[in-house]
Structures are given as C-alpha cells and as structure tokens.
Structure 1
Amino acid sequence: MAIARKELVDSETPGFYHCISRCVRRAFLCGDDPFTGNNCDHRKAWLEKRMLELAEIFAVQLYAYAIMDNHYHLVLYLDPKAPLNWSKEKVAESWLRAYPGKLDNLENRHLRELKKQAIMANDKKLKKYRKRLGSLSWFMARLNEPLAKNSNIEDNVKGRFWESRYQSIALLDETAVLSCMAYVDLNPVRAGVVQELEKSLHTSIKKRIDEERRLDVPIQPVAGNINGRPIQMKLNHYLQLVEWTGKAIVHPDKASIPPYLDSVFNRLNLQQDNWLTQIHRLGLNNRAIGSIEKLKQRASALKRKWIKGSSFSKLLYVSTSQS
C-alpha cells in the first residue's frame, strides 16, 4: 500500500532523509547524452552549486550527495521547526534567496530591500514562509524546478523533466545515516564511472577529500543552515570505510575487511559479511532504513502493522534491536 508523502516525511520532528530524483527522458540530463551527442556537464556543476546554496537557505544540513548523468542522490538532515525561531529578517532574506531573479541585480537592490521589508511586515506571509523553509518538499522543488526549466529551454523541448516526485527514505538511526552516506558517496564507483574516490566529480566525498579540514573530529555537514543532530563517527574513520568499500567494489577478489575497520563495523552494529551486498541495495524501494526496533516505532507512528525495510535491516545490522 502506498504511503502519502506527508507520512513519509515528518513535518514536526527533525530527521535524516535519503532523497533521489531521476530524469524522465531517455536522454541524459547531465554528462554526455548518447542520443543527441550533446555534453551537459555544466548542469552537474549548476546542480551541485545550487544544492549547497539551498542548504544554507532552508532548515537543512547536507551530509552527502552524488550527481550522476540521469539522477542524483542527497543525504540530509531536516529540522522543520527551526525557522520558527528565525528572525523576521532572516526569514525574508532566506525566501528571497530561494527565488533569485532580477531583484538580485545590483541596479535593483532598492526594490529588493522594499520587497524584503514588505515580507517582514506581513505576519501571514512570514508564517507561510517559515513553514516552507522547514519543508523537504519545498527544498527539493527549489532544486528541481529551475534545472528542469533551464534544461528544457536548452533542449528545446516541453513537458516533464523529472521521472516523478522525488523519492525520500527516512534514515532512523546513525547506522542508517552513515551506511546511506557511503552508498551515495560510492555511486560513481558502483556505476563503473570511476575507480578512485578522488575522481568522483560532483560528489560530497570528493568535496570532503579536497577540502583541508581536521580528520580526527566528528563528521560535519558539507553545507547547512542549522545546528542539527551531530554524527559521532570521526571523519577519518568514515573516509577509511568508504575508501575500502570502493576498492572492494572494484576488486571483489580482494574484499577481505582489514583489521583497522573492525572497530568501525562493531560501533555501527553492521554485519561485516553482508556489508558489500547491502551497500548495493540501500536505494532499492525501502521506505525507511533503521534497526528493527526503529522500524517498528516508525510503523506504529504511521498506524501500520509494518513498514517496508525489515528484511533489509536483518541483513545489515548485527543486532536488529539496537539503534
């Protein structure tokens, strides 16, 4: 039975989500289009730039992303209530940044300020914009709609650009979040596009590797506008896990897990023997990912007997009752 979007995404409680958008057309929306011969790599750069910008506008922290030729993945943390505590000025400014246009031109700065002041003076609009700035659907719309419009103009076509509304998967515990981050960061490797993480263009793992930052501290978001729930795993341990997993995907005959990763698997309550199999299945039709206990709680909150993902959880987690 289908579950409504409003039930899949909790509009009251902060949480992590894995989001996926796919192109409707056979032609690729990014990269080299094998049917037209056109190269659309600039769309990947635009999409990456815009998702990082939007994470600074909406009540979001962005933890992982991968932009492929005909789809993209995000792992993000959403706090739907955070905008309730934002100042009127921050709400108005955020909303104007979410809809960039002619008012952002230097010659129109006075008109932009007038519009900003008008929003700040309108309590009804402020209430509406606070809700939207804490909405996953509005975040995804501001990411997808401009790309669809611009790409249709470039391709001289009309009609739908995205396959459907984006897919969202709730990530119910830290193990689910980190596993899904690894799944997303390894997309180009799993697809056979690259064999080395350093060559995974337009991904969060590439951004993390390129940026100079401390490795012995907990993982931080690559972009974000809120103080979200911290992830306790240290960045160097995560990079070690992703690097080894990538090598094991490329060279499955050398896939024995090195001893230095034992503590990582133990801490995350992951089944080592099933890790490589499950890392290929994290994006397959699950409505939520988490321990069995977390899935039961989720099903109860939705007033359902069960929620899809239990069989996957039993293979991913060592103890299915741990969070």
Structure 2
Amino acid sequence: SNHTHVVLHVNADKAKHWTDTEIAQRWHKLHKGTLLSQRLTSKETPVFTDAEQITLQSTLSVYRNRLTDISWFMRELNEPIARQANQEDDCTGHFWEGRFKSQALLDEHALAACMVYVDLNPIRAKMATTPESSNHTSIKRRIHDFKKGYQPSTLMPFVGNPKQPQPQGLMFDLVEYLKLVDLSGRSLNPNKRGAIDMSESPILQRLGLDEHTWQDMFLTFETNFSVAAGQSDTLKRYKRKRRQKNSVG
C-alpha cells in the first residue's frame, strides 16, 4: 500500500514517427500545453507565423522527449497518487520516501523474472492468496479478461513464440505465463511471508532455464540486480556498452 512496481516498455522508435499533432494531443491528456499547441489541436486548420512555428517546434521537441522519458512517466504517475493520499490524510509534504529505482531488463529471461516478481508481490506480502485475487496487479487484470476471451488493451499483449510478421508484444504464451506465475508463487522465499502451493510449468524449459537458475533470478530479483538484469553474457555486453559510452562522454 506504500509503493508501486511497474514493468515499463518505452517504444522510442514509434515516438519518433509521431506527428506534431499526435505529440500535442498526447501531452494535452496530461497538461494544458501552450496557446500554440492548443491551436495546433483545434478543429480548425491552424495558421502560424514563422516565429510561432519556431516556438511551437521547440515546445513539441520538449514534449516528445518527455513522453518517452521514464523520469517524467514516474512523475506523472506519482504526483496524483501523492496528492490524493495527502488529501485523504489531511496533511501536506512528501508522500513518497524517495526517488524511484529503475533497472534495465536486457533479455526475455530478465523480463519474465521481473514480471513474475511484480505480479506475485501481493502474495509475497500476504495481502492475497492467489494471483486472481491480487488487487491492483496486471496478472489479475489479465486473468479477468482472459476468461472473457481477450487481452487487456492497456497492457502489453502476449504474442507467443516469434513468428513473421511479428506483432509487438511479449514473446511468451499467456497460458504458459499464468502457469509460471502460479509455479513460482508456490516456491517459498525465506525473506517473504506469503506463498502458494507447488506445481510444474513447461515455460522454464522454453526459456532455457533450469529450476535453480530461475529461482535464483526471480526470488532475489530486487537485491541481485541494482542497475540491470539479464543472463551473464547479456550483462557483459551491457557493461561493455556502458563503459564505451562513459569513455566517449
């Protein structure tokens, strides 16, 4: 009840192809924008002077960067929560303890481990007994919609095994992921209070992980990886790139 976990995908390539109008419309869902950006999204075809066009392009460039920036995403997510909590508690001041922590998920193994860790958080905290009863989780939303025969439009969809043409989404099968969450939740974690019973899941073999490797990555996810997560060879490539980037800078 005092923190959130978010598995976030930033589609920077898609954002590069947004039109000026799309950028302004997206930003206006969060903020009023400027008089020029409001004119851009008005029903009438706007006409700008050269000076106004330069100013508008500068503004839209800032909006485009913010719309793909994780720090701005967390700011937009946390601010209304803090405002509502302070209003309910009739107090002022900081609601969140400190700045958010983020980790780069470098491959599908790390992504699956992080998703399972997040989806099982209420169970580990003994706030729920099963994934389908875990309030405010993606797994509950997915199960709810899966029973109706579709996937949530507000979450990244599961698209299964790689195929051509490949739609954008999670490279896992939704049913296998549900089994994986259930299996992982049945494994006891000495540092957590809650757990559910044990079963088997074929997704471990599909990801190329044995049970011990999976448990090590998933059960201690928050403490094992401070900046990035992934398999050893992926982490080595990531560290090399970071060193090269730092040396150039």
Q: 2:103 aligned with 1:169, yes or no?
A: yes
Higher share in strand: 1
- Higher relative contact order (Cα pairs below 8 Å, separated by 6+ residues): 1
Stretches of structure 2 that go unaligned for 5 or more consecutive residues are 157-165, 189-193, 245-249
How many Å separate the matches in 1 of 2:236 and 2:216? 24
Q: Deviations over 1:277-318 (max 9, x none)?
A: 5422112252111011111111111118xxxxxxxxxxxxxx
How many Å separate the matches in 2 of 1:221 and 1:77? 15
Q: How does 1:168-317 map to 2 (within 5 A)?
A: 168-212=102-146, 214=149, 222-223=154-155, 229-249=168-188, 255=198, 257-258=199-200, 261=201, 263-284=202-223, 285-303=225-243
Q: How does 1:93-108 map to 2 (within 5 A)?
A: 93-99=25-31
Residue 75 of structure 1 aligns to a residue in which SS?
coil
Q: Deviations over 1:200-255 (max 9, x none)?
A: 0110000001114658xxx887436xx98532211000001112222344667x64
Q: How does 1:29-178 map to 2 (within 5 A)?
A: 69-99=1-31, 114=39, 116-117=41-42, 121=53, 122-178=56-112
Change (3 A) 1:251 1:127: closer
Change (3 A) 1:134 1:112: closer
Residue aligning to 2:247: none
Stretches of structure 1 that go unaligned for 5 or more consecutive residues are 1-68, 102-110, 305-323
Shift of 1:115: 7.2
- Matched-pair contact (CA < 8 Å) for 1:220–1:231: no
Residue 222 of structure 2 aligns to a residue in which SS?
coil
How many Å separate the matches in 2 of 1:155 and 1:75? 29
Change (3 A) 1:92 1:194: same
Structure 1: 4+ residue segments shifted above 6 A: none
Residue 7 of structure 2 aligns to a residue in which SS?
strand
What is the CA RMSD across the aligned residues, in angstroms? Answer: 3.2
How many residues are paired up?
Answer: 219
How many Å separate the matches in 2 of 1:251 and 1:158? 37
Q: Report the AA paired with residue 279 of structure 1.
A: F
- Matched-pair contact (CA < 8 Å) for 2:113–2:217: no
Residue 6 of structure 2 aligns to a residue in which SS?
strand
- Matched-pair contact (CA < 8 Å) for 2:123–2:195: no
Q: Report the AA paired with residue 241 of structure 2.
A: A
How many Å separate the matches in 2 of 1:135 and 1:280? 29
How many Å separate the matches in 1 of 2:128 and 2:119? 12
How many Å separate the matches in 2 of 1:80 and 1:228? 16
- Which structure would you say has the larger Rg? 2
Normalised by the size of structure 2, how large is the TM-score? 0.75
Q: Deviations over 1:16-60 (max 9, x none)?
A: xxxxxxxxxxxxxxxxxxxxxxxxxxxxxxxxxxxxxxxxxxxxx
